[in-house]
Amino acid sequence: MPEESRQQEIRRIIEVYGRDDVRSIMEMVERHFMVLHLRSQVLLGLSGIVITTTGFSGRLIAGTNDLAKWLIISGVALVMAAAATVCYGVLHLRWLSQHPGQEIEQWLDTSLAYRDRKTRFYRIGIVMTMIGLTLYVGSIFVMLWYPLDFPGINSIR
């Protein structure tokens, strides 16, 4: 977020809550972090579903052909990289009470910069997850497009 926008946000927060209602301001900023953490948990849950599904059907999908193999491996790798990005960038902790600033404006600037950094990591994780899921679904599409291209299937007929 550009510096002017953050400064405008700080002024708006102080106008709404007042300079002396530090507790309410901290609770509002804390809610921002809770939203980020809850949404990050959803991305991690999707990652877990991808891993579980791959455990059951990954070998079958990858056995279709080289394209399906490339798509599923790339998709899973990207989803896992997204999970790592979210864990590193969003879920690591620094308590709001540890943020520096003698005045409320300084503290808000530090806290909102920290929130914005976590938000950037979250957005990167979303994009990586969506691309990874697209590749993953592409591998399923390839498997369904070529239903008889599995090792051993032709020997059964």
Residue type, 12: R
Q: What is the pTM of this model?
A: 0.85
Q: Does residue 7 fall inside a structural domain?
A: no
Domain that holds residue 79: 26-151
Average pLDDT, the chain: 89
- Mean pLDDT of the region 121-149: 93
72 assigned to some structural domain: yes
Residue ranges in 1-157 assigned as alpha helix (H):
3-17, 22-62, 66-89, 104-145, 153-156
Q: Is residue 63 in some structural domain?
A: yes
pLDDT at 95: 81
**Domain membership flag for residue 103:** yes
Q: Is residue 11 part of a domain?
A: no
Query: Does residue 2 lie within any of the structural domains?
Result: no
93 occurs within a structural domain: yes
> Considering the domain boundaries, does residue 156 fall inside one?
no
Share of residues in the chain with pLDDT > 90 (%): 67
Between 53 and 96, the more confident residue is 53
Q: What is the tens place of the pLDDT at every residue in 71-107?
A: 999 999 999 999 999 999 999 888 877 777 778 899 9
Contact 146, 64 (CB under 8 A): yes
In the chain, the number of structural domains is 1
Which pLDDT belongs to residue 51? 92
